[in-house]
Structure 1
Amino acid sequence: MISRCETTVRYAETDQMAVVYHGNYFTWFEIGRTTLLKEIGYSYKELENKNVMLPVIDVTCQYIAPAKYDDVLIIESKVDKVMGARVTFSYNIIRKDDNKLLAKGKTTHAFVGKGFKPINFKKHFRDCYEKLNKYSQ
């Protein structure tokens, strides 16, 4: 299953040539990830209130074509895999006007408690774990 949401490139996200600064793609990945989590019924806030943190432990981004000021972007997000105390999400950033793939990436997160010790997410949050697994199919 793929989650989709949109954002419009703001002027502050670009350089003098109206091209998006590369670091902003990671913010868009986060927008996609939080949207996906809300779609399955869990927000970051709710997980954090239950003492579950999801720090990024690995991130990649392949830049294919530049996003520019005022482009409307589609952020596609999906769960690649949930394994043990980790979850990996993948993303596509697509320009809406011409459906061009601009970038793709992945983030891997650990399920940890407030003390940053890994937790058995499947054992303590079975419902969320199963919904994340459904999104990976």
Structure 2
Amino acid sequence: MTHNWSETELRVRYSETDAMQVVHHANYLSWFEVGRTEMMRRAGIPYRQFEDRGILLPVIEARIFFLASARYDDELVVRTRLAEARVKVRFEYEIARKSDRQILARGYTVHAWVNRQMKPIQLRKLAPELEQAMQAYLSAEGESQA
């Protein structure tokens, strides 16, 4: 396993499944969000710090590759990593079943920096300390791979 993945565990709830107890595909995006917000919190740059400054990170692109099905009551591990944080922010994900570590899905989301009026902003101008924290996290993660 790569060192720069942040891991968050969750259990598939009955409401997330269909009549065959297979997880509905839309839930994977919710699990990506759980992984993303937890990764940012652990990195010391929680979303709350951005939102308190009027900075939002809406999803502008998402992609999921489904490899196997998750089922009701499976314990899952959502692995998340920050792949890029410049004009856009890109997070990458893997969702695996905890019991056998089988990867069930992979994907990514891309986000834009915007203000409350949904106008694009430059993070380095509006909140340079948050931009520096994101870049420091990326640099530290890059060093851990070497």
Q: TM-score, normalised by structure 1?
A: 0.93
Query: Residue 132 of structure 2: which of 119, 127, 135 is its match?
Result: 127
Deviations 1:78-131 (CA, angstroms, capped at 9, x unpaired): 0111222x1000000000001100000100000111111111113323333324
Give the aligned partner of residue 13 of structure 1: 16
Give secondary structure in 2 for the equivalent of 1:130: helix
Alpha-carbon separation, structure 2, partners of 1:96 and 1:111:
33
Query: Residue 29 of structure 1: which of 27, 32, 40 is its match?
Result: 32
Query: Residue 62 of structure 1: which of 56, 62, 65 is its match?
Result: 65
Alpha-carbon separation, structure 1, partners of 2:42 and 2:140:
10
Q: Displacement of 1:136 after TM fit?
A: 5.4
Which residue type is aligned with residue 37 of structure 1?
M
Alpha-carbon separation, structure 2, partners of 1:131 and 1:51:
22
Give the aligned partner of residue 93 of structure 2: 91
Query: Residue 102 of structure 2: which of 91, 100, 103 is its match?
Result: 100
Alpha-carbon separation, structure 1, partners of 2:46 and 2:140:
15
Alpha-carbon separation, structure 2, partners of 1:95 and 1:126:
34
Give secondary structure in 1 for the equivalent of 2:31: helix
Give secondary structure in 1 for the equivalent of 2:56: coil
Deviations 1:60-87 (CA, angstroms, capped at 9, x unpaired): 0000000000000000000111222x10
Cα gap change, 1:132 to 1:121, in 2 (>3 Å): farther
Q: Give the aligned length.
A: 136
Which residue type is aligned with residue 64 of structure 2?
C
Cα gap change, 1:135 to 1:12, in 2 (>3 Å): farther
Query: Residue 114 of structure 1: which of 113, 116, 126 is its match?
Result: 116
Give percent identity, aligned residues only.
38
Query: Residue 56 of structure 2: which of 50, 53, 72 is its match?
Result: 53
Give the aligned partner of residue 42 of structure 1: 45
RMSD of aligned residue pairs (Cα, Å): 1.4
Cα gap change, 1:97 to 1:91, in 2 (>3 Å): same
Give secondary structure in 1 for the equivalent of 2:104: strand
1:9–1:68 Cα contact (<8 Å) kept: yes
